[in-house]
Structure 1
Amino acid sequence: MDDNEARVRLETLTETVRRDLDCEPEATRDAPCPELPEGATPANRRNELERELRLMGPINPLALEEFTALQERHAFLESQLEDVRGGRRELTKVIKAIDEEIVEVFRAAYADVADNFEKLFGTLFPGGQGRLRLTDPDHLLETGIEIEARPSGKNVRRLSLLSGGERSLTAMAFLFAVFRSRPSPFYLMDEVEAALDDVNLHRFLGLIHEFRDEAQLVIVSHQKRTMEAADCLYGVTMPPGGSSRVVSERVGAGGSSNRDPAGTPA
């Protein structure tokens, strides 16, 4: 190596020390030698460190700025996440309050309906017993309701073992128990007495007579006895060669009636 080459290399190393280490070359000579692993020489350690630097790849000069931006983004997302957690806690409180209110309303409604069902079942089935039972009384938000019905003279409780007419009467007992527990201005029923024989139809009409003072009952029926118990009848007729039209008949005092072919009650 000639003097010029040595001088150039020395100047290059000096600039490198000043730039990378921010100190003068004399300070590097006074610096203590770093500890080396056992059995390693300075040259081997240098080669190992250079290899690790090559494996790390090129240095990203914008890494610090990107890290700062990611920190700000992380802080923003953390605040948003905390807002979501707070909203979830508040929503959980609201759901809990609503569930408690639903449970109280359901408990009160069930008690009223169950009491009225037992009374109405006894009316429709003289001497019989009927009751409502919760399938899961400890969890009112998930429970179901089972109907137990035992007409007089029968040792059965399951609805599937009752006749068609008995099932219809049991269903009407439950339906009217709901009506009585939560009254409404009017009720609409569609051929609910179609499966009833004369005895059970008589009991049904007695129940209708009992409720007619509490609300307006609109019943779709083909039973003549049900029609006879009505205050006003509406029907649809179509003469041969004509078109269908609505006719009505209002039953007056003493059993008299007024007909209005135009469909308007007289």
Structure 2
Amino acid sequence: LDEALALRISAETALSKSRDHNESMHQQVRGLEEQRILIDRSVEPLREGLAAAALDEQAAKTTVEQFSQMLQEGKLDEEALNHRAREQHINMKASVLQAELHRVIQAIDAMGPVNLAALDELTHAHERQGFLSAQCADLSEAMHTLEDAIQKIDRETRDLLKQTYDQVNQNFGVFFPKLFGGGDAKLLLTGEEILDAGIQVMAHPPGKRNSSIHLLSGGEKALAAIALVFSIFQLNPAPFCLLDEVDAPLDDANTERYCDMVRSMSGQTQFLFITHNKVAMELAQQLVGVTMQERGVSRLVAVDLEAAAEFAQAA
């Protein structure tokens, strides 16, 4: 479970970084898109001017061709034709020419200064946009991969936690009546989502109402805790188990039931327990005591009870 949770946290961290990077890439793309639009706007008048100039050039060529054809077909006098054209130009009103000139000057001023590098900048912006778009696509794919990984980890963690919860709950229902001499107990989830839910211990000792573990006495809480610890311990029993004065709040009757449970489990696990209870000491095969005959100097006293019993019988 710890490994799965660590993988989930790592995947969520990587996903968060990918989202931040993706958002940064999107901002850069939006900036380049705005830059491209500005460049397009500055280039568009140039394009229109070029198109208009091309049209004027084409119209002039067409006019020249028409006059040339007329000269050839009608054999008109070119000098007379030029003289006539000059007369027509002279007769045009000066105000019309002045207005047209003013319009052209305003159109040129509206176009602003010509940016000769605009086309190169536009090409560079398109290339940059393509590069960032490819990065955004890669990040989006990575985000989907991470999301799939997180969902897989959540699914596997949920299944493993559900199996563990069911097994511990089953073991708890077996150990509790053994320690209490009856009654029953169970674990309850406090939420619908098992990954976020807490666990509540419900205990029903003999002769008492079913209630939360918080309403039990000190000795009953100790027995319920021992039953729960042993229920978890049964999932993957270790070769050694250390118990530090867990029998301190128990009376002699409860201590005997506690010792019976330890004795039944001692076939697969070696128990080392610290106790001041005589009933628990009788369970042990070997006793190790610590004495201090001199201040600051500890001394170990070990007794093999089986060897001591054989020695007593022989004597």
TM range (shorter): 0.7 to 0.9
Which one-letter code corresponds to 2:60 in the other structure?
A
- Measured after TM superposition, the shift of residue 157 of structure 1 is 0.8
Paired position in structure 2 for 1:231 = 285
Match of 1:217 among 242, 260, 271: 271
Q: Please, which runs of 5 or more residues in structure 2 have no aligned partner?
A: 1-48, 64-98
Match of 2:128 among 62, 73, 97: 73
Q: 1:163 to 1:25 in 2, by over 3 A?
A: closer
Q: 1:126 to 1:44 in 2, by over 3 A?
A: farther
Query: Aligned equivalents of 1:235 and 1:65: distance in 2?
Result: 90
Query: Aligned equivalents of 1:224 and 1:94: distance in 2?
Result: 55
Q: Does 1:158 align with 2:216?
A: no
Stretch deviating more after TM superposition (113-122 or 198-207): 198-207
Instruction: Please report the TM-score for the alignment, with normalisation by the length of structure 2.
Output: 0.62
Query: Aligned equivalents of 2:178 and 2:148: distance in 1?
Result: 45
The structure with the greater share of residues assigned to helix is 2
Query: Aligned equivalents of 2:279 and 2:227: distance in 1?
Result: 20
Match of 2:189 among 130, 134, 143: 134
Stretch deviating more after TM superposition (112-121 or 193-202): 193-202
Instruction: Please report the TM-score for the alignment, with normalisation by the length of structure 1.
Output: 0.72
Q: 1:26 to 1:93 in 2, by over 3 A?
A: closer
Q: Which has the higher contact order (CA 8 A, sep 6+)?
A: 2
Q: 1:238 to 1:60 in 2, by over 3 A?
A: farther
Paired position in structure 2 for 1:27 = 60
Q: 1:80 to 1:237 in 2, by over 3 A?
A: farther
Q: Please, which runs of 5 or more residues in structure 1 have no aligned partner?
A: 1-16, 31-40, 258-266
- Measured after TM superposition, the shift of residue 50 of structure 1 is 4.7
Match of 1:146 among 200, 223, 230: 200
4+ runs of 1 displaced by more than 6 Å?
none
SS in 2 for 1:238: strand
Stretch deviating more after TM superposition (104-113 or 225-234): 225-234
CA contact (8 A) 2:252 2:279 kept: no
Query: Aligned equivalents of 1:197 and 1:215: distance in 2?
Result: 25
Task: Name the % identity.
Answer: 35
Query: Aligned equivalents of 2:232 and 2:297: distance in 1?
Result: 40
CA contact (8 A) 2:256 2:280 kept: no
Query: Aligned equivalents of 1:28 and 1:223: distance in 2?
Result: 121
Which one-letter code corresponds to 2:169 in the other structure?
A
Paired position in structure 2 for 1:12 = none
Structure 1 segment 43-82 matched on structure 2, within 5 A: 45-46=103-104, 48-50=106-108, 52-54=110-112, 58-82=113-137
Query: Aligned equivalents of 2:279 and 2:305: distance in 1?
Result: 14
SS in 1 for 2:138: helix
Paired position in structure 1 for 2:74 = none
- Measured after TM superposition, the shift of residue 49 of structure 1 is 3.3
SS in 2 for 1:227: helix
Query: Aligned equivalents of 1:92 and 1:143: distance in 2?
Result: 22
RMSD: 3.1
